[in-house]
Structure 1
Amino acid sequence: MSSLSFLKFYSSNPKLRGIIFTLLGGILWGFSGTCGQYLLSIKGFDATWITIIRMIIGGIIILAFSAIHKKEQLKRILLNKHDLFHLFLFSIFGLVICQYTYMTAIFYLNAGTATVLQYLGPLFIMIYTCIKTLRYPSAKEYISIFLAILGTFLLATQGNINALAISSQGLLWGLLSALGVMFYTILPINLMAKWGSIIVAGYGLLFGGIFLYLISGEWIFPFSIDLYTAFALAAIIIFGTVIAFILYLQGVNDIGAIKASMISCVEPVSAAIFSAIWLNSQFTFIDIIGFLCIITTVFLLIKSK
């Protein structure tokens, strides 16, 4: 496709563009999870350093991108003490928890299973919303609770109630990553409405990565870098953080948050496929049923009022 044809497509087919961009964003997120699994299981990295590198460099790139059109906003948010405080809260309790727990879950499990468990996040958001608004779940929400519990049970036990089929640490970190998604979603709502999602995400990644580096106690990068390691890190930072985020935001703008959220459910499918093909992760028929239960949960919650 020539550059002129691409520009014509970009401007004249917003719905198709939104579907394609959201789909690509979800696939890239899934691929980046598999790259994390490669670094953790093959190259001996730990989840802390992957998270630090991803957040700091990803944050810098996103902020540099923002500076092209929103230079003044980048300065003003730093001068607003109230918003800066909430930005720090989001970076630590939202992004750091979400990113670190996800990578740790991958370490104990695999990219596909960890990503599916993280997709329990909308369930926790729904429960939080019900408690906050003092209401009972709707019929769809009750069904999604059942499917989420069933899907998690199948993944954890393979249907055998007497024994866990996966690492208990992996299950715990996977559920914590879902809680991280809840905090990651709820904490920045007012900030993003005021300053825009790109600026908030850029600063949140940068501040969170610096915070994790300072508390980790690991001051010197302890791993050797070869060509494959560099490619995996670049895929996580550039494709799985920066480009996927921008593609998803454009998709939301073109087709709306509901459709974009549904299409982005390709992420766990993408992670599972890449993990199986590239790293020989094994998934049983019961695993697939568990995946479908949890993904169906997300669809029901997206459609629920």
Structure 2
Amino acid sequence: MNEGMTKMNNHIKIKADLDRGIFWSLFATIMFGTADTLLQFLSQHENVSAVWFLSTRTFFAGIILLIIGAFMYRRHFFDIFKSIQSIVYLVLYALLGICVNFLASYLSVQYGNSASMSILQYLSPLFVLLIMVIVQRRAPSLIDVIVFIMAMIGIFLVLTKGNFSKLSISTTALMWGIGAGFGQALYLICPVPLTKKHYPQILILGWGLIISSVAFNLKQPIWVNPPKINLALVLTISCVVLFGTIISFMCFLKAAKYVTSQIMSLTAAFEPITVFILSFIFFNLQVNFIEVLGAVIVLAAIITLQICHSRANN
């Protein structure tokens, strides 16, 4: 009987951990989606320039994360700078991962809208796959090809809304959106060598943000030609920094204690869903059935890719 009670208690604990992990992962994803939507308000309604905003976002987010990281990993705060190789990887992560991802995302929203950007950025697993195919010089599997075709069909439907003679967003927005997806792929790939060396993730991101902040501030310092400061601007930037960077990242770290990366990657589908819902509510986004169908096809394709590759790795 004691053995049966032990099994039952273990089952309850596993389920409770799963529920906690899914909750924190979903919460983080929704925060990312909310931040993506706020980018549209900043770029189109407050007319905030991309480089000034990113100089501000990366600087304050990096400082806050490093302060938190200093309390959590005081003895390991500067460990990442003790190896030339690690420094090189960190700089590559900052410039190719963070800078490219953040800049392309903002400009895609500025020239188009947050909904289109989020669905294009969600293609990042396909870009990761493409990079791995090129680097490893291997042929893609049949499922990779099928998923790629599905995703392209879905994106075509989203961007045309059923009117195949023209795109629903500008070519500029489309190119920056593709850049956002590619940047997101680099954002996922570049820090892998650092995480394998067991550097704390919060410090990797914190130092990466500070380095990317230096790059953006060299182009446009925070104090040079700032936009007109008002309450709406301050609150919006604060929300993007806190919810879209700090809180979302901390929630992902908390979720990682309870669930696998596979489950966390599946919950990422709620980011574009969140953006679509918020854009519909606050920006009067017009969505038709064809566009919804295309978005569903893209989500299904990426989820299928993640599940198949996760099973193959296991």
The 2-side partners of 1:150 and 1:12 are apart by 37
Which runs of 4 or more aligned residues in structure 1 lie more than 3 Å from their structure 2 counterparts after TM superposition? 216-219
Matched residue, 1:177: 180
The 1-side partners of 2:294 and 2:50 are apart by 25
Matched residue, 1:205: 209
Higher alpha-carbon deviation: 167-176 or 290-299 = 290-299
Does 1:112 find its partner at 2:115?
Answer: yes
Matched residue, 2:7: none
The 2-side partners of 1:292 and 1:187 are apart by 29
Change (3 A) 1:217 1:20: closer
The one-letter amino acid of 2:177's match is G
Does 1:300 find its partner at 2:281?
Answer: no
Matching residue within 37, 40, 44 for 1:41: 44
Any conservation in 1 of the 2:51–2:103 contact (CA below 8 Å)? yes
1:90 positional shift = 0.9
1:163 positional shift = 2.0
Matching residue within 25, 29, 36 for 2:28: 25
Any conservation in 1 of the 2:100–2:183 contact (CA below 8 Å)? yes
Matched residue, 2:147: 144
Question: Which segments of 5 or more consecutive residues in structure 1 lack a partner in the other structure?
Answer: 1-9
Does 1:220 find its partner at 2:203?
Answer: no
The two structures, once aligned, show a CA RMSD in angstroms of 2.0
1:153 positional shift = 1.3
Matched residue, 1:277: 281
The 2-side partners of 1:149 and 1:287 are apart by 13
Matched residue, 1:125: 128
Normalization by structure 2: what TM-score?
Answer: 0.89
1:135 positional shift = 2.7
**How many residue pairs are counted as aligned between the two chains?**
297
Normalization by structure 1: what TM-score?
Answer: 0.92
Question: Which segments of 5 or more consecutive residues in structure 2 lack a partner in the other structure?
Answer: 1-12, 310-314
Identity %: 27
Matched residue, 1:258: 262
Change (3 A) 1:169 1:264: same
1:152 positional shift = 1.8
Structure label with greater radius of gyration = 2
1:218 positional shift = 7.2
Higher alpha-carbon deviation: 45-54 or 264-273 = 45-54
The 1-side partners of 2:162 and 2:15 are apart by 50
